Amino acid sequence: MFIEPHVRGEKIGWIEVICGSMFSGKTEELIRRLKRAQIANRSVEIFKPIIDNRYDPEDIVSHDARKITSTPISSSAHIPLLASGVEVVGIDEAQFFDVELPAICEQLALRGTRVIVAGLDMDFSGKPFGPIPALLARADYITKLHAICVQCGNIATHSFRLTATQDTIMVGEKESYEPRCRKCYNEGLRNDTSVT
């Protein structure tokens, strides 16, 4: 349960991280929290990496077609400049940002901003992804979401890549990835030598 912190009338900020595998609802949850902040008349600024143009070049769009307006950026260094004076900052697909993102989120939180970040915690090879581990270490609140394994129906924690591409960063959807539980993910790696 999320409880908004208060300290004797002071404006305090914090970092929330929403993580999990692909198709676990991370972006949907990010959009839900940001829309609630907008309904509460908070000033909100939302960012996504410029390389994420799957559904829309500017808006953040979830797999179930929910969307919210955002600003695509090429570097996390743009965030403090573009979010000056806002109360809530949302960041989607954080795994695609540079290693400076956690320090920037910390800087925003210290100046009283609520920072909500969503991203994959592991890449297709099951390794911690980009700046997400450092964000998790700095987060005040963490929400780990799960998808459903398409192979067996159990809780999915991994994003299994369906193509032979070995690049760590590959923006894709259902044609390129599927959610799998730990067992089915590892069985898939053993059965498909092109993925390892």
- Residue 66, pLDDT score: 81
Q: Which structural domain, as residue segments, surrounds residue 39?
A: 14-145
Beta bridge partners of 60: 68
Q: Is residue 69 part of a domain?
A: yes
Mean pLDDT to the nearest integer, 144-153: 97
Q: Is residue 95 part of a domain?
A: yes
Asked if residue 14 lies in contact with residue 109, where contact means CB atoms within 8 angstroms, the answer is yes
Q: Is residue 3 part of a domain?
A: no
pTM of the model: 0.86
Q: Which residues are catalytic?
A: 93
Token digits for 65? Answer: 């077609």
Q: Is residue 128 part of a domain?
A: yes
Q: Is residue 58 part of a domain?
A: yes
SS3 of the chain? CCCCCCECCECCCEEEEEEECCCCCHHHHHHHHHHHHHHCCCCEEEEEECCCCCCCCCCEECCCCCEECCEEECCCCHHHHHCCCCCEEEECCHHHCCCCHHHHHHHHHHCCCEEEEEEECECCCCCECCCHHHHHHHCCEEEEECEECCCCCCEECEEEECCCCCCCCCCCCCCCEEEECHHHHHHHHHHCCCCC
pLDDT digits (tens, 9 = 90+) for 16-47: 999 999 999 999 999 999 999 999 999 999 99
Q: Is residue 87 part of a domain?
A: yes
Q: Is residue 170 part of a domain?
A: no
Q: Which carries the bigger pLDDT value, residue 52 or residue 168?
A: 52
Q: Which carries the bigger pLDDT value, residue 59 or residue 108?
A: 108
Token digits for 98? Answer: 């540079």
Give the chain's domain count.
Answer: 1
Q: CA gyration radius for the chain?
A: 17
Q: What is the CATH number of the domain that holds 120?
A: 3.40.50.300
